[in-house]
Chain A
Amino acid sequence: MYTAADHPEIGIMSSAAVNDLPTRTITSPGLVMSLAFTSGFIIMSVELLGGRILAPYFGSSIYVWGSIISIFMVALSTGYLIGGKLSLRNPDLFKFGTFFLVAAIALLPIVFFSDLAMESVFTRIEDPRYGSLIASSLLFFVPTAILGMIAPYSVRLMVENAGHSGQVAGGLYFVSTLGSALGTLLTSFYLVLWFEMNTIVISMILALGAAGMAALWIGRKSLR
């Protein structure tokens, strides 16, 4: 267990601390790793379900996948940028946990408002290519961007010095991409066979919520 006494730097870390990279930072590597895995899993699971979600309004043609994949890529790249930026300012586990909670909330509209959103796009845009592009940005951009923030931020949480930063980043990419692979496989092979889509998305929301709460709980000392 961490206590504030073990890590006197926690409460006083400022953005200047970024430059003192040898400084021991506040992390529990196992937790950060498993959270990175979780977010990787959920990103790809939601992306895969995206095709299903859009199909009733825009079909399942190659351009629907084109829309989904490009929106996910743009959202992730935006998330990487913002997450990297945020990691400069007093990075801690507590803030890291809030990313998960916000991502969980941002996924809720997929469950409750996707028909409304797609219906209104469908009536306004005749071309299913641009219809699916707009609909997927409405539904997936925000949650995916927030999930994208997790990657660079978790690197910052785990890096203790510049020398091993590449190795840390490599390890994190490893678990989160492995999570993505598993999310893709499990969703397409089994989850859609067993559950309704909304059940799957709600489970993802709950998993993100639980992950966020765990990070908040373990990182709560940084607030004191």
Chain B
Amino acid sequence: MSQSVVTAAILACLTLLGQPAQADSVIHKEKSLYRNIEVREARDRRCLVFTMRRRDSRQSCINLDRPQEVVFPYTKMIFAALLLQDDPASILIVGLGGGTLPKALSQLFPSAVIDVVEIDAAVYRVAQQFFKFKKSDQVKVSIADARVFVKRAQIRKNSYDIIILDAFTGEYIPEHLMTKEFLEEVRSLLTSTGVVVANTFSTSKLYHHESVTYSSVFGNFFNFRMPLTGNRVIISGPQPLPSRDILAGRAKRLANRLAPYYINIEDFPRYMATTRDWDETVRPMTDQYAPANLLKH
């Protein structure tokens, strides 16, 4: 079972990589305030793409035949947060994309309140129109800058069991969402058993600066990277990190619930490292010093 899922995942990746852009048919195209958006379809796959001259970046994909499938490896990796907090009553998601995360999480936790913050109203429209994303009483969407939303949430004294930071398109980084001060604000929104999970950068100088910044706010964190993906997911929270055995036990219990989403969570614990393999002498990023886009090169 596990093997076949891995094989399927690898095949999926290869298919994704292997398909030349021309083979996709563009079913929707629009220019938003922030970017050029396309929805492309190829065989059973429909993807939200932010197009750029240099290269396009796929933000989110759905499998049209298997609507529950979480397609991207890094999106699957986000679900590792459930190994630290498996019964969230409230979830904050920064960055909507195609809405994969809120869709899956609201099915898994029907009574959880899910707040989604997305800066681009066009992305929200596209998610509704082409990716079967629906808001509801439980799932709310705010079109706002995440930093502003988080500051307002602090004033309202909101708190969340899981906060997912997924605001990076891969090309331009909103620098004010990568600073120590922002992460401190995020931390203040976590419940005492809350978990923050962030999709971040795994290469360039930014890897070191970002790691130092996260550890200055959260102390230890799981540095989660999997073979065949270029992503790095950071997971942490106010509670001490559980041991690998505990993670493995929880993964076993969650495995069946996550199987319909093609998330093989039992593979995760062994890749969730706590070793500090970055240069700890670099400066953390702060509101005063945040050249994230310059450090990326």
**What residues make up the interface of A, taking CB atoms closer than 8 Å to B?**
52, 55-62, 122-123, 126, 128, 189, 192-193, 195-198
Contact = CB atoms under 8 A, between A and B. Distances in A.
A188 B287 CA distance: 15
Contacts of A61: 33, 119, 145
B182 interface: yes
Contacts of A197: 287-289
Given A59-B119, A59-B145, A61-B119, A196 B176 contact: no
A136 to B, nearest CB: 15
A56 B119 contact: no
Contacts, number: 57
Nearest to B155: A123
Contact of B288 (A60, A193, A198): A198
5 tightest CB-CB pairs across the interface, nearest first? A59-B145, A55-B176, A196-B288, A193-B291, A193-B294
Interface residues of B, number: 24
Interface of B: 33, 119, 144-148, 151-152, 155, 174-176, 179, 181-182, 286-291, 294-295
A56 B294 CA distance: 19
Given A189-B294, A197-B289, 19 more contacts: A52-B176, A52-B287, A55-B175, A56-B147, A56-B151, A56-B181, A56-B182, A58-B148, A59-B148, A60-B174, A60-B176, A192-B294, A193-B291, A193-B295, A195-B289, A196-B286, A197-B287, A197-B288, A198-B288
B206 to A, nearest CB: 12
A128 B289 contact: no
Contact of A59 (B147, B287, B289): B147
Contacts of B152: 126
A192 B291 contact: yes
Nearest to B288: A196
A189 B294 CA distance: 8
Given A61-B145, A128-B145, A56 B289 contact: no
Q: Which of A55, A60, A189 has the most CB of B within 10 A?
A: A55
A197 B147 CA distance: 19
A58 B145 contact: yes
A17 to B, nearest CB: 48
A60 B295 CA distance: 19
B119 to A, nearest CB: 7
A58 B119 CA distance: 12
Contacts of B286: 196
A55 to B, nearest CB: 4
A52 B290 contact: yes
A197 B181 CA distance: 15
A52 B155 CA distance: 22
B176 to A, nearest CB: 4
A142 B172 CA distance: 33
Nearest to A196: B288
